[in-house]
Amino acid sequence: MRLLHVPIVALCCLLAAGCAAPERPVLVDPNATPETQALFVNLQRIARDHVLFGHQDALAYGYQWFNEPGRSDVKEVAGSYPAVYGWELADIELGHEENIDGVNFDLMRGYIQQGYQRGGVITVSWHMNNPVSGGNAWDTTRAVPAVLPGGSHHDVFLQGLDRFAAFIQSLEVGEGADRHLVPVIFRPWHEQSGHWFWWGAPHTDSLDYQRLYRFTVEYLRDVKGVHNLLYAYSPNSLSEYPREQYWSWYPGDAYVDILGVDDYYTMHDGYGNIGDGIAAFSQQLRWLVEQAEARGKIPALTETGLDRLEISDWFTSKLLASIKADSVASRIAYLLVWRNTNFARESRDHFFAPYPGHASAEDFVRFTQDPLILLEDELPDLYTMPRRR
Ligand code: BMA
């Protein structure tokens, strides 16, 4: 009888649902840690019905405070920490103690550990200083060919990647057998379609950009043995170029886990749109979701926001309206609004989430109460691999 040849264990698994094998996602890193794999699978699942809300630098400072443990403007307005925490690593490559915005890297490690241990999702961006000129990320002195293997500044670049890797590999939590690294979504060389960074479209050719992205992944994964990263690809707004150009800089499916876009303006009428910006933006998000789902990737609005929130119902009338205008568009996994600079330190208004007392606070609460939008207190466990269904 054929059945007799089926190993006992396999037979058990066929009969008992509880014995079903866990899903194993196809990731950029086949050796990604179990928690990193679980994050991918859970984000992919949750994206069908929810969008996680994220805030850059949420725990480090807010409009009216700086480095006060436990605080977050989002929490003080909406009652919960954000579901996603964005962090910025610019200046880590120089061996500095603080990042470009004055956030101490040791404190940042602590904020990352806290956010993760509460169940939140961590993502990092990196406005790396220009390795050729020594200027900042916005110094567009030609640098991409110089940092690639064989280039004049390859060694400086490697030193930067080494320091980045050391930080990512220091994000340890747990004791004994439970000791593990915090999974992180890394968004290398973002907004490359724009002109403002040294890796941006006018300052390199697209093949060199792809080499830069692939080299970064291969060096971190294969040379440094970093296995707690998911990789996100995030050009700037799809309003700025023909859609197919989104792929011009694409390093390939083998190098990307998350398909993103950074878009601050499309949802506003008159920004490169004839007529309704909300319709235009929701169609772009729909396209992004379709592309990601067809490739087994996760779609995300990797950066967005309205600086200074001068439209007091922006969160519901623009952002939520755009996401909800199309049922496919609403399958993005998360969105991240940029940072709330501390007014006293930076002497300027530059904030993207409301703080207590701000005119948009009530609208933001309505936004977060929408069943589509999740803050941290509504998250399921994202770090345990679900069983196949
Ligand atoms: C930009 C601005 C800058 C900041 C940089 C990196 O968008 O917020 O002030 O230094 O991001 O965080």
Q: What is the DSSP string of 247-280?
A: GTT---GGG-SEEEEE-SSTTSTTSS-SS-HHHH
State whether residue 103 is helix, strand or coil.
coil
Looking at residue 45, its pLDDT comes to 97
Alpha helices, DSSP H, located in 144-270: 144-147, 154-168, 206-218
Bridge-partner residues for 124, per DSSP?
87, 186
Q: Does the pLDDT at position 188 exceed 60?
A: yes
> Is 123's pLDDT higher than 50?
yes
Mean pLDDT of all residues in 342-346? 97
Ligand 1 neighbourhood includes 262 CB (under 6 angstroms): no
Q: Whose CA is nearest to atom 3 of ligand 1?
A: 101
Please, are residues 265 and 237 in contact by the beta-carbon 8 Å criterion? yes
Q: Which ligand 1 atom is nearest residue 346's CA? A: 9
340 pLDDT above the threshold of 70: yes
The pair of three-digit structure tokens given for residue 341, joined into one six-digit string: 């600079």
Q: Which atom of ligand 1 is nearest to the CA of 339?
A: 8
**Nearest-atom index, ligand 1, CA of 101:** 10
**Residue 97 is among the residues annotated as catalytic for this protein:** no
Q: Is the pLDDT confidence value at 151 over 90?
A: yes
Segment 376-386 mean pLDDT: 97
Cβ of 127 closer than 6 Å to ligand 1, yes or no, is: yes
Of residues 128 and 23, more confidence is placed in 128
Residue 234 has pLDDT above 60, yes or no: yes
What's the pLDDT band for 9 if we cut at 50, 70, 90? very low
Phi, psi of 114 (to 5 degrees): -65, -50
Rounded Cα–Cα distance for residues 227 and 241 (Å): 34
The number of beta carbons lying within 10 Å of the beta carbon of residue 39 is: 28
Whether the Cβ atoms of residue 60 and residue 108 lie closer than 8 Å to each other:
yes
Name the residue with the closest Cα to ligand 1, atom 4: 101
Average pLDDT, the chain: 94
* pLDDT at residue 236 is higher than 50: yes
Mean pLDDT across 192-214: 98
Of the given ranges (15-29, 130-144, 293-307), which has the lowest mean pLDDT?
A: 15-29
Using CA atoms, how far residue 15 sits from 1, 9, 12, 19, 376, in Å, is 18, 10, 5, 8, 37
Q: State whether the beta carbon of 339 lies less than 6 angstroms from ligand 1.
A: yes
Other beta carbons within 10 angstroms of residue 157's beta carbon come to 24
Residue 22 has a pLDDT of 58
> 350: Cβ–Cβ under 8 A, 6 or more apart, which residues?
307, 308, 339, 340, 341
Query: What is the reported pTM?
Result: 0.94
The preferred substitution site among 57, 89, 93, 101 for testing ligand 1, maximizing ligand atoms within 8 Å of CB, is: 101
Atom of ligand 1 nearest to the CA of 350: 8
Average pLDDT over residues 87-96: 98
Q: Could you give phi then psi for residue 258, rounded to 5 degrees?
A: -125, 125
C-beta of 100 in contact with ligand 1 (< 6 A): yes
Q: Relative to the CA of 57, which ligand 1 atom is closest? A: 12
Task: Answer positive or negative: Cα dihedral of 213, 218, 219, 224.
Answer: positive
pLDDT of 271: 73
Please give the helix or strand (H or E) that residue 113 lies within, else none: helix 105-117
Verify whether ligand 1 is closer than 6 Å to residue 191 (CB atom). Answer: no
Pocket test for ligand 1, best of 85, 127, 136 (most atoms within 8 A of CB): 127
Q: How far is the centre of ligand 1, averaged over its atoms, from the C-alpha of 294 (Å)?
A: 33
pLDDT beyond 50 at 345: yes
Q: Are 368 and 375 in contact (CB under 8 A)?
A: yes
What is the CA(257)–ligand 1 centre distance, in A?
25
Q: Give the pair of three-digit tokens for residue 272.
A: 């490169």
User: Rounded distance, CA 19 to CA 233, Å?
Assistant: 36
Res 20: pLDDT = 52
CA of 137 to the centre of ligand 1 (A): 10
Question: 98 catalytic, yes or no?
Answer: no
Q: Which of 339, 345, 352 to mutate to test the pocket of ligand 1 (most atoms within 8 A of CB)?
A: 339
pLDDT confidence of residue 48 = 98
pLDDT higher than threshold 50 for residue 4: no
The DSSP bridge partners found for residue 173 are 180
Which listed residue (35, 88, 93, 191) is catalytic? 191
| Catalytic one of 303, 310, 346, 376 | 303
